[in-house]
Structure 1
Amino acid sequence: MPHTPPLPRPTDTAPTSGAQQDTRHRRADRLAVALLALALLGLLAGLALSAVGRPDLATLAWAAGVLPALAALLVEILHSLREGEVGLDIVAALSMSAALAFGEALAAAVVAVMYAGGSFLERYAAGRARREMHALLARVPRSATRHRNGGLEEVPLDRIAPGDRLLIRQGDVVPVDGTLASGTAFVDTSALTGESLPARVAEGGEILSGVTNAAAPFDLRATRDARDSTFAGIVRLVEAAQASKAPMARLADRSSMGFLAVTLAIAGTAWWFTGDPIRAVAVLVVATPCPLILAVPVALVAGLSRAAAFGVLIKGAGTLETMARIHTVVLDKTGTLTDGRPQIVSVLRSGTLDENAILRLAAALDQASRHPVAQAVVAAAQARGLALPVPESVTEVPGDGVLGRVEGRDVVVGSAGFVAARLGLPDGQLPRAGAGAVQVALGVDGRMAGHLVMSDPLRGDAAAMLDRLRRNGIARILLATGDRAEGAERVTEGLGLDAVRAGLSPDGKVLLVLTERKRGPVMMVGDGVNDAPALAAADVGVAMGARGAAASAEASDVVLLVDRIDRLCQGIEIALAARRIAVESVVAGIGLSVLAMLAAAAGYLTPVEGALLQEAIDVAVILNALRALRIAPSGAESDVAGRAAPGGPPPG
């Protein structure tokens, strides 16, 4: 049975456009259908002629049906040889040629039909495994509706710039990353994350490109160019994944030489000891290359597609195979094990202002800053329904704080030391936040007004996720963070980690990963720019793509498209199941093939019977490999039940 040559790897050739790939797939599909039709027509015509007593014409009809398939197979073999590969297609070519040469035209016709049918089935299997990825690529929008001078204009995506205000109609795919600029929106994220129910987004909330507007039209303020947006990056990753080839698949290619040698040895031995060349023909036609050629790539590509349905984008089949062998998982803390968005845990008063007034003034000034802590203060004030005035005369000292005027009052907000220095207060008299907490001070009209104590909470699903990692065979789980040791230990207390490594620089994280690799394959999970080197150094790097930095997504091998760390476990479970299905298919298929070859060598199978048995094994192997499309990781059922978005589904 034939196999389609792997697509060129992105590092080897220029990228192939989606249209070119679609054209090539359609051409290959038409060829497979034509070969099957000709081989089947020749077989049926020969049987009909044989039934009416014309064996001479029947032989010609069978040969006519065989020759197109044999010619296509020889072209495939030459292509493989030019690529430096010796594939098992040689066995199929030898079986058809030998059957014709020794007068077994009917057996040759059966092999040709099964060869062409197997080629058609392979095209179908590969197409089904790519279906969800193709659906993702097909969603790429080509233009967007932009507000301009009081009207609307349709513009190509490459003309959209950060700051543009776009109209997203009901049913539109969001073309670029942005924030909701009007009202409330309900978006369908199922294509990216697998979430079945629409998610509710409040004004100012982030909306990723690639999701669909599930309700009334809304305005989006673009925050990135189209080429740098989330969905564009996902498309590039999908295209790279489709062009990849797994280590198991490469191993299968190398193993094909051994299988070819075994086949020829059994056929030659049967002919030598019996003097009957028909025995050798029977061995050749029963030898099946499908378990080696198709089982591994079909199972792994199906696993890639299945993982994508759960919001786990794996960049290649090789990564999927490696995920099934991970020994150690190294987790970053901020944004990975923790939520990554500081929350206010208490408000300390230092004057006459009440808690809401302290929060309102701090948030009003922090509107002018893009610092994560400042944005968290603004979000907390908005959550309480506080009206925030527009600040004036704003000056920001990056990393320290912000100064300005709010409603005629001089306001300064930032780190305790920064605010104290601006107010002329001794730093030693300021209250201290506990381990792992962040303290934001507020000064108003030259006096200390209060402090906001903020903390980055542990993700609610973190403990359950670690337990599932253990059950999936992960031997060691470590925390790697640049934070102080006392804060890291407080946050992770009771989680049962094997080690906590705090105060690490990016180089320190890389060194930790390289050290752990001596024990076995290592997976690194992170979301920040400082995690990118460690992600690249690990056997499998996993980026929190929903809110993580672009650098970490580029350096990683896996991107979690939904901001849920438990999806990591589902990805690993899918990888384990896909690899297990691939191995089962190979072992069972090759075992049955060898037994059938021995039976044919002993004279228990005629060439026609051997050909039929061969393809029965092939079909069984492919169908078994396609089981990977139905892998159901643990927790999938609860996901469906728990996907109701805050505020419920959109009206209507």
Structure 2
Amino acid sequence: MKFRIKHEIRGRIRIHMEAKRLSYKEADLFQYYLEELPQVTKAVVYERTADAVICYQGERSTLLKKVAAYRCKDVKVPDGILEHSGRELNSQYQEKLVNKVLFHYGRKVFLPAPIAAAYTGFCSIKYIWKGIQTLAKGKIEVPVLDGTAIGVSVLRGDTATAGSIMFLLGIGELLEEWTHKKSVDDLARTMSLNVDKVWIKEASGQEVLVSASRIRENDQIVVHMGNVVPFDGTVSDGEAMLNQASLTGESAPVRKTAGNTVFAGTVVEEGEITVLVRKAGGSSRYEKIAAMIEESEKLKSGLESKAEHLADKLVPYTLAGTALTWLFTRNVTKALSVLMVDFSCALKLAMPVSVLSAIREAGSFKITVKGGKFLEAVAEADTIVFDKTGTLTEAKPIVAKVISFNGYSENELLRIAACLEEHFPHSMAKAVVNAAKERHLDHEEMHTKVEYIVAHGISTTIEGKKAVIGSHHFIFEDEKCTIPEGMEDRFENLPEEYSHLYLAIQNELAAVICIEDPLRKEAAQVVEQLREAGLSKIVMMTGDSDRTAKAIAKRVGVDEYYSEVLPEDKANFVEREKQAGRKVIMIGDGINDSPALSAADVGIAISEGAEIAREVADITVGADDLKEIVKLKRLSDALMQRIRRNYRIIVGFNTGLIVCGVTGVLPPTTSALLHNTSTLVIGLQSMKNLLDESE
């Protein structure tokens, strides 16, 4: 691609492409390409000017070579990225906003007064009629107030005031609609699937792991326990309990058998199914989520709902105040000063905009929030519970060594373990699979049906022999496996600095796989920062041994830790804390964390964890850095502060306007102008990033 450099400083460069402007698709393609480059930290492409601003790290020459090598036809973009990027939506609303402002002030300048007055009268019919319809339903709400204010102004011949009220109401509606649609669009896009690999069932019955892009209509895919259903389809074989909360909002799992329809985004909680793919594209999932968000009350926080209800409740008092002012003063002008000012417009605009903007801002930090009420819950929380593996420790543990107990070679034992573990999305399972891949060990399917026992391990049959892999409790207590004769000393002297994964064949220990699970370097700092942010009780829970858990807990600095816990133990702990009156955040990444994530006031999943954890969770954070959780807490606190501050400003300012109007200090036109302008300013302020103003 040909381009020229318009401006640059160290780490930031602005380039101009050889075009007058770019199409939305061209701009999105180029931005996606830039953002995928490892040295690029941030990129913005402007379609109108064909410019791009690139922030980068590393060598400038390397970046410029990559930019020069860009060819739009060579860029492969996942389904849904281009279709729902939001670029076209933003452009449309920017144009609507500019056109509305230009038309309003152009009409004042160029239209003769009689025609302008007639036009204002015609436009007022919509607001008056909406107020009448609201009254007809037996409700005295905001549309009644707006219709009355506009109608009285028109009847008095004060079309300038009526026009100003309608203009500012229109601007407010446009801004709210824009912010709402953009926020919903961003949220739906981040919640949409991004499945890379799926298990396809070939004609021979063999399961093969392939790229999701290879899947076509009428292919058969196998979805194992704990995994997400990647495509819409029909169950052709198997039986499973599916969690459909992401689409229906209901947490109770639904039984699916042969012939039943399943939808992309639902998660297999128990069992295993083979799905005949009906639709391989990714758009259906997006549309379902967008519709669910639009219809759901999840987007509303408690403070937001209270503010909106208060806005409607205040309308009768405003009308009563108008009537009383007229009765006592017999002054129509003073009475109209009360009517022109109300609390509801600002309350109903600023609160939703604040919440939706906060959700959008969270998305910029790779934090997906499924509703405003969860941000409020994070702000109110006083207890936080961390899972250890993959949360406080690195998301990518590694295999340190394989200790043989049956005479097999390390590579052979690792190959068997990888063959079992590749079916299940957990950080320790991924460590085993990655280790086998690094050693170039081919682990084709050798086993029959794989059964996963949550928080314990995996059981299957290899060449007619039962094979199990999992925790100490599962292997030696549940499965009653034994240590080979003469290997007791080796077993007693297993290295204590590692987590242990046990592999047994025919009820006899075959290998111990030592997993090095390094603590995240930022973990201790994050715990301290969360404590400073107001969380009074910080807990760590893990299925690991007490020895390992105690060492990690001491290094991290948590208040309490619990070891060798089962999924139900985590969920029961969360329930006990809630019954004690505490607000609880649960953070985890595995299948075994999903009951606790569901039980908590706010469930937070690590993005690289199991699909079921991400689906059940209320918030998902990126796996790169736990500091995102601190940002989430600060963002939530800042949102609640903004909502409360907006409430105080709206009530205080508008009360002042009413007093000034009743005392005759301000005429109705000025009161209306100040009221609507303040509403617009507060709405615009509510769209600003929270952390920019609080940090």
Question: Is TM-score (shorter-chain normalized) higher than 0.5?
Answer: yes
Q: Which residue of 1 aligns with 2:582?
A: 520
Cα distance change of structure 1 residues 324 and 77 upon mapping to structure 2, 3 Å threshold:
farther
Q: Say whether 1:499 aligns with 2:553.
A: no
Question: 3-state DSSP class of the match of 1:600?
Answer: helix
Q: Say whether 1:116 aligns with 2:170.
A: yes
Q: Say whether 1:369 aligns with 2:369.
A: no
Residue 537 of structure 1 deviates from its aligned partner by: 1.8
- Superimposed CA distance per residue, residues 606-636 of structure 1 (whole angstroms, 9 cap, x where no aligned partner): 22222221222112111110113774897xx
Q: Which residue of 1 aligns with 2:152?
A: 98
Question: 3-state DSSP class of the match of 1:604?
Answer: coil
Residue 271 of structure 1 deviates from its aligned partner by: 1.9
Cα distance change of structure 1 residues 350 and 102 upon mapping to structure 2, 3 Å threshold:
closer
Q: Say whether 1:287 aligns with 2:342.
A: yes
Q: Which residue of 2 aligns with 1:485?
A: 546
Alignment of 1:191-206 (within 5 A): none
- Superimposed CA distance per residue, residues 32-70 of structure 1 (whole angstroms, 9 cap, x where no aligned partner): 999989876775577x43xxxxxxxx3x74254134234
Q: Which residue of 1 aligns with 2:441?
A: 388
Q: Between the two proteins, what is the percent identity of the paired residues? A: 21
- 301-310 vs 464-473, greater mean Cα deviation: 464-473
Question: 3-state DSSP class of the match of 1:627?
Answer: coil
2:688 to 615, 624, 627: 627
Q: Which residue of 1 aligns with 2:383?
A: 328
CA contact (8 A) 1:35 1:69 kept: no
- Superimposed CA distance per residue, residues 250-294 of structure 1 (whole angstroms, 9 cap, x where no aligned partner): 101221245324433443343233211111112212335332111
Alignment of 1:203-218 (within 5 A): none
Question: 3-state DSSP class of the match of 1:294?
Answer: helix
Q: Which residue of 1 aligns with 2:117?
A: 62
**Which whole-Å CA distance do the structure 1 matches of 2:144 and 2:300 have between them?**
22
Alignment of 1:69-148 (within 5 A): 69-72=124-127, 74-75=129-130, 78=133, 86-127=140-181, 129-130=183-184, 132-133=186-187
Letter paired with 2:519:
L
Question: 3-state DSSP class of the match of 1:318?
Answer: helix
Q: Say whether 1:580 aligns with 2:641.
A: yes
Instruction: List gaps (5 residues or longer) in structure 2.
Output: 1-82, 204-210, 224-229, 232-263, 266-273, 452-456
Q: Which residue of 2 aligns with 1:529?
A: 591
Letter paired with 1:611:
A
Residue 506 of structure 1 deviates from its aligned partner by: 3.1
**Which whole-Å CA distance do the structure 1 matches of 2:516 and 2:89 have between them?**
54
Q: Which residue of 2 aligns with 1:360?
A: 411
Q: Which residue of 1 aligns with 2:79?
A: none
**Which whole-Å CA distance do the structure 1 matches of 2:504 and 2:486 have between them?**
15
Residue 95 of structure 1 deviates from its aligned partner by: 1.2
Instruction: List gaps (5 residues or longer) in structure 1.
Output: 1-17, 50-57, 165-174, 177-208, 211-221, 635-652
Cα distance change of structure 1 residues 242 and 273 upon mapping to structure 2, 3 Å threshold:
same
Residue 489 of structure 1 deviates from its aligned partner by: 1.6
Question: 3-state DSSP class of the match of 1:263?
Answer: helix
Alignment of 1:201-240 (within 5 A): 240=292
Q: Which residue of 1 aligns with 2:354?
A: 299
Q: Say whether 1:614 aligns with 2:675.
A: yes
CA contact (8 A) 1:42 1:62 kept: no
**Which whole-Å CA distance do the structure 2 matches of 1:500 and 1:300 have between them?**
34
**Which whole-Å CA distance do the structure 2 matches of 1:281 and 1:392 have between them?**
80
- Superimposed CA distance per residue, residues 394-440 of structure 1 (whole angstroms, 9 cap, x where no aligned partner): 689974789979xxxx9999689789978851564442333873155
Q: Which residue of 1 aligns with 2:608?
A: 546
1:459 to 520, 528, 533: 520
CA contact (8 A) 2:318 2:338 kept: yes
Letter paired with 2:517:
D
Cα distance change of structure 1 residues 240 and 318 upon mapping to structure 2, 3 Å threshold:
farther
Q: Say whether 1:311 aligns with 2:366.
A: yes
Cα distance change of structure 1 residues 427 and 283 upon mapping to structure 2, 3 Å threshold:
same
Question: 3-state DSSP class of the match of 2:689?
Answer: helix
Cα distance change of structure 1 residues 76 and 345 upon mapping to structure 2, 3 Å threshold:
farther
Residue 365 of structure 1 deviates from its aligned partner by: 3.3
Residue 138 of structure 1 deviates from its aligned partner by: 10
Q: Say whether 1:431 aligns with 2:491.
A: yes
CA contact (8 A) 2:140 2:312 kept: yes
Q: Which residue of 2 aligns with 1:217?
A: none
Letter paired with 1:519:
G
Equivalent pairs counted in the alignment come to 535
Question: 3-state DSSP class of the match of 2:419?
Answer: coil
CA contact (8 A) 2:127 2:147 kept: no
